[in-house]
Chain A
Amino acid sequence: MDKHIESMIYTAVRYIFAIGVMFFSLFPLYWMFSMSLKPPIEWTSPDIHWWPWYPTVSNYLMLFFDKYTLIEWGVVKPWEVTVPETAVKAITNSLILSISGTVLSVFIGTLAAYAMSRYRAGGDYMFLTFRMLPPIAILMPIVMWLSTLGLLDTHIGVVLLYGLFPVPFVIWLMRSFFDDLPREIDEAAIMDGCTPAATFVKVILPLVRGGLAVTALFIFILNWSDLIVALLVTYRRAVTIPVQIGLYYSDIGHLYGIMSALGIFAIIPTLIFGLAIQKYLVRGLTFGAIKG
């Protein structure tokens, strides 16, 4: 076959593939977005509306303001569907808990990662194995343990778990960043009269700033995406966004538009941060085994 035709066929196949993938990965997201703009009458209309015919932002407003405010503003009529409870608590909880959990786990994990990289401290593979266990098998006793301590459904309880569960990821990710730095830097600092602690804090940590930022974003994504931990240890006070989506689902039937609006809120930070650290995602997800 002619070389020119062959390469044209190859290009055509490539574009067909690429466009097909684009459709499959984006259409579901588009569908949730369009649902979040639909008024209740369109949520399950028997004739499928591929785009919102009467677009409205009231679904988003209902996440933040209660029924009486919205009626006063004339956004919803008194007989229209509203949520019994706004999602403000869930959104603030998600932010507070994910951020504090991330800070805690990055702090704990970075120290250990440095010890494992430079002082040959062991136990690294134990953490890797630990991370591979299904969370439910560990959570069942942890829930009892937390309830004994009186930490069930409190922010502290969730922060502890969000600070502990991703620690293996932090250790392995930070370890790969520490290993990228030549040992001569440490040795030079020690020669110049730095104590080990000063070497770590003043010399090494500034050099892995970028790695720390990547790790923090990665752990934030993990914590923000979590459903099962929050589902098991929170009931009302400390619920997070993924749990809240499920709450709307069970108690009051399906509030399609409102749940979709909350879903959009859930995915915005992970989408932004995930694409920002895309280069390092492979490294994070494979525990540093493959450097992307």
Chain B
Amino acid sequence: MPGFRDWFRVPEKFKTLLILPVQIVMNFTAIIPFALVWYIGMTNWSPQFVGGDWWRADFIGPYNFVLAVRDELFLNAIARTLLISAICVPTEFLLGFTLAYVLSGNFVGKRFFTLVAVVPMMVVPAAGGWIFYLMFIETGPVNGLLSIISGHKVMIPFMNDPFWAMIAIMLADIWQWTPFIFLIMTAALLGLPPEPINAAYVLGATKWYTFRRVVLPMLKRPIMIAVILRAIESLKIFDYPYMMTRGGPGYATQTITMNLYESGFKYLKYGLTNAQCLIIFIACIIVAWYAVKPLRAAQRGG
């Protein structure tokens, strides 16, 4: 059958064949769900309705979108997630970059310390959340350390306090993802050409001046990529609040994902949640579109 064989012989047809599976995949995971999220967002469907298939739900127009932007929990969750990002990403960047810079020279045990510094990133995030829960319980090592320092018996229930629970979640995020910045910046520092740096030293520049005026400009692109990727990932934060506080106490540590999970799968408000998902979806597409640009430049350039 010559027609069949052509698929493997003619380059144009072979290309179509190669792309085919991924297109089926895209239809399954992106196009159909995207259509579905629009549709359900416009209905008041909920799995609680006995015998109510979703394709027979009541159409209520954009009412859910009005409800969505007036939903205080949802808005608070967005603000809280942005706050977590705004605190965690710069902290991770400063720590990771400093660490990469300090460990970039040659010294005894460099390989070992580099390996150890990367370990937290390899921990399954759910397990990471559980680890930090253990660290911050009343009888955990954080309280143990405070007891030793202060000389009194300290038993602070960190997870029951809205402020400290947030701090604990941020610490878990920082612990786990500082290595991410560290890895990228280590790779970037390794790839730097040594000549300009040596030239600066020869010309009598100090270490700090060389760093600021020679090294930093050359690292602009990796820094941007590291921060952007980390910032986007940190908006998805879910595993730590889920494992550590379940969004509590009250709603004090509910992030966007946690909020959507609860209103969708605990309170079964499908219409509203889908409308909120769509809002997040569109907001993230806009953000991601701009975020992809420096990546694109780097991939084209190097």
- The interface of chain A, by Cβ under 8 A from chain B, is 11, 13-15, 17-18, 21-22, 24-29, 31-32, 35, 44-46, 48, 50, 107-109, 111-112, 114-115, 119, 121, 123, 125, 127-130, 132-138, 140-142, 144-145, 148, 160-161, 163-165, 167, 171, 195-198, 200, 221, 224-225, 227-228, 231-232, 241-242, 245-246, 249-250, 256, 259-260, 263, 266-267, 270-271, 274-275, 278, 281-282, 285-292
Contacts and interface: CB of A to CB of B under 8 A. Distances in A.
B272 to A, nearest CB: 11
- Which secondary structure dominates chain B's binding surface? helix
B124 A132 contact: no
A133 B288 contact: yes
Given A129-B289, A132-B291, A196-B8, A121 B33 contact: no
A148 B55 CA distance: 10
A125 B289 CA distance: 9
Contacts of A134: 235-236, 256-257, 280, 284
Interface string B16-42: 011101100110111011101100100
A192 to B, nearest CB: 15
A263 to B, nearest CB: 4
B123 A271 contact: yes
Given A28-B135, A171-B22, A275-B122, A290 B238 contact: no
A29 B103 contact: no
Contacts of B260: 136-137, 140
A108 B22 contact: yes
B113 to A, nearest CB: 4
Contacts of B102: 13-14, 17-18
A111 to B, nearest CB: 4
Nearest to B235: A134
Interface in B229-265: 229, 232, 235-236, 238-239, 242-243, 246, 256-257, 260-261, 264-265
A167 B37 contact: no
Interface string B118-132: 111111111110111
A135 B294 CA distance: 23
Given A31-B131, A132-B232, A164-B28, A111 B54 contact: no
A267 B299 contact: no
Contacts of A286: 184, 225-226, 229, 295, 298
A136 B134 contact: no
B222 interface: yes
Contact of B125 (A22, A148, A200, A227): A227
B131 A50 contact: no
B134 A121 contact: no
Interface string B179-192: 11001101110010
Nearest to B298: A289
A289 B25 contact: no
